[in-house]
Structure 1
């Protein structure tokens, strides 16, 4: 199951939650109880391994 990062816009409470793809997103803050919670999106790191990714790996 994927883990989602949430933040409350009202009290700035940060938390993560494991949820299924079919679960509804969380909208109520567990800290203050207001409906100000939004998902936080961030970039996914990419790691290139093996040969063929760098210009020095090309055959001449």
Structure 2
């Protein structure tokens, strides 16, 4: 391996370390806010046509 390649790899390791440190600080400072803000949306599918909404506008979409 050449000297420029080794220095590039060392620089990349330093950047990765700095990025990970910043991410750790950001995530630890948020605490439990993430789970409260990003509640997972649940998609429910209709099992039969009778369960579809009866709104006339929706009926026209068929």
Name the structure where strand makes up a greater proportion of residues. Answer: 1
TM-score (norm 1): 0.26
- The higher radius of gyration belongs to 2
Higher helix share: 2
Normalization by structure 2: what TM-score?
0.26
Q: Which has the higher contact order (CA 8 A, sep 6+)?
A: 1
